[in-house]
Structure 1
C-alpha cells in the first residue's frame, strides 16, 4: 500500500499542476473541435493535459500501461495500468461552467486500487486507495443515508447519440422522475460519482459511458460505502451507483434489458 500512496501523491501533484494550466486558459481564446457529434467536444487543453500526464507517468513509472481518452492505449510490461480522462466535462469547461475535472484511476493486476478526481475550478480533490476509505480535501466521506425514494436526489446524463437512438435514457427518466425527490444533470460522470460518494447525491445512473469516465469515481464510491453496478453493453458501460439503502430499489426501477 505504501507504493499506492506514493503513486496517489504523484497523481495529485500532477493533476493540480495540470488543473492550474486549465484555469489559466479557461477564460482565454481556445481551440475547440467536435469528435463524434456536434456537442462531443475536445479542447486543446484536453490534449495538453493528457500529454502532460502521460509524459509524467512514463518518466516516473516507466513500463506502466496507460489507457487514455484522447490518444488511446500505451502498452507496457507492468501489472499497473493508469486510466486517464484529462477533462471529464469538456463541454462544461469549454462553456465556462465549473463542473469539470481530471480523473485518474490506477489498476493493479486488473483491479482498481487508486482513484483521484480533481476539480480545479471547484477546488475539490476526491481520492481513494483500496481499503483505505474515501476522502474529499483530506476529510473522510461517506455515501448518504437517505432511504425513502421520494426524498432522494439522483444524478444522470445523456449519451451523445441521444437524438438518433431510442436508447437515450429518456424512458428511464420517465420511470424514475415521478418517484424521486429531485434529478440533476451536471455533465461530468466522474464528478457525479463523487457527489454520490460524499452524500450530495443519493444515486446516479448513466448509459454508454467509457471506463475512463468512471474508473476513479467507482473506487471512491466503493470506499465511501456506496453500492455499484457496472454492466458492459454494446455501446458502452451502463453504470448504476447509490447509497446502500436505495440500491435494490433503483436497480429494479431502472430496468435495463
Structure 2
C-alpha cells in the first residue's frame, strides 16, 4: 500500500490507492443493496449486454467520491460513453492527454447481475501519463478485493497474489468472453474458442473480464483472452496480472497499453503457446 510519502501514488496526504479501495467497496455495497430490486432494464448495444439503473448509479457514486478527493483528475467511465467499439476508442482518445486519469467500470458483468448470476465486479484504475499505477477490482458477491500498485505487487485482502505455475496449455484452465458485438468481435472470439477448447485443460467464460483478469493474477486461471474489450474492462485487471508476475499483451503479442481492445493475459509461462494458437486460428482480431 502507499506509505504516504511516495510519488506518484500520493497527492498531499491522500493515497490514491486508499481512495480507490474505499470507493470500490462503497460501490460494491450499493450494488449489493440493489440485488433483487431491478426495476428497469434498458438494452445497450445488444440483448447480450444489458444495463440497469444500477450501472448508472454505481458510476455516479464512484465519480462523486473520486472527484471529491481529486477534483483536478480526469475520469473515463463506461456509462458516459455511447455503446460500441468506435465510441469507446474515441472516448479514450479524448482523455489520453490527461495527467491523472481514473478509468472505471461501475459493474463489469451487468448481464450476470441482471440474471442474479453472482459473477460481476467493480473495476477502478488510475493512470498517470498513460501508465496504470493503481488497479482495484472488487467482487461484492464474494467480498473479494484485489488491489495492485505499480512496482509494489498485488494483493487480495492483504495477501500477495501470484500467478499459477502451469507451464503448458494442456494443464491450464483458461477463460474467455463472448462479446456483445455479435457481428465483429463475437465470431472472432468463437474461432479462438473452437481452436483452444481441445488444447487446454478446460475453458471458462464467467462474463466479467475484470474478474477473469483478477483470477489470472490470483492463480485461479492460467490465462484469459478476449476480443473487443474497452479500457475500463481491462485497465485495473491488467495491473493486477503484471504485479502478480504475469504477462499482458494484445493478442498479437505486442505490449499492453490503454488503447488495447484485444487482450491476452497469462501467467507468462503459457503466453507464447496461447498467443500462437490464436494466430493459427486467425482469432487475434488484428
Give the TM-score of the pair, scaled to structure 1. 0.93
2:151 alignment partner, SS class? coil
Query: Could you say if the C-alpha distance between residues 85 and 151 of structure 1 is closer, same or farther in structure 2, counting changes exceeding 3 Å?
Result: same
Counterpart among 61, 66, 76 of residue 75 in structure 2: 66
Q: Report what 2:172 is aligned to.
A: 152
Q: Report what 1:23 is aligned to.
A: 32
Matches for 1:104-183 after TM superposition, within 5 Å: 104-162=124-182, 167-183=187-203
Q: Report what 1:46 is aligned to.
A: 55
- For residues 91-124 of structure 1, the C-alpha deviation after alignment (integer angstroms, 9 at most, x for no partner) is 0111111110100000001110000001111110
* Alignment pair present for 1:239 and 2:259: no
Query: Could you say if the C-alpha distance between residues 164 and 194 of structure 1 is closer, same or farther in structure 2, counting changes exceeding 3 Å?
Result: closer
* Alignment pair present for 1:253 and 2:277: yes
* Alignment pair present for 1:211 and 2:231: yes
Distance 2:146 2:54 in 1: 21
Q: Assess if the C-alpha contact under 8 Å between 1:141 and 1:224 holds in 2.
A: yes
Query: Could you say if the C-alpha distance between residues 148 and 164 of structure 1 is closer, same or farther in structure 2, counting changes exceeding 3 Å?
Result: closer
Decide which structure has greater strand share: 1
Query: Could you say if the C-alpha distance between residues 246 and 165 of structure 1 is closer, same or farther in structure 2, counting changes exceeding 3 Å?
Result: closer
- For residues 207-233 of structure 1, the C-alpha deviation after alignment (integer angstroms, 9 at most, x for no partner) is 00001000000000000000111369x
How many Å apart are 1:253 and its aligned residue? Answer: 0.8
Query: What stretches of structure 1 of length at least 5 have no aligned partner?
Result: none
Question: Does 155-164 or 123-132 show the bigger shift?
Answer: 155-164
Distance 1:167 1:177 in 2: 15
Distance 1:227 1:236 in 2: 14
Q: Assess if the C-alpha contact under 8 Å between 1:209 and 1:237 holds in 2.
A: yes
**Aligned residue pairs, count:** 255
Q: Report what 2:85 is aligned to.
A: none
2:197 alignment partner, SS class? helix
2:152 alignment partner, SS class? coil
* Alignment pair present for 1:89 and 2:109: yes
How many Å apart are 1:29 and its aligned residue? Answer: 3.6
Give the TM-score of the pair, scaled to structure 2. 0.84
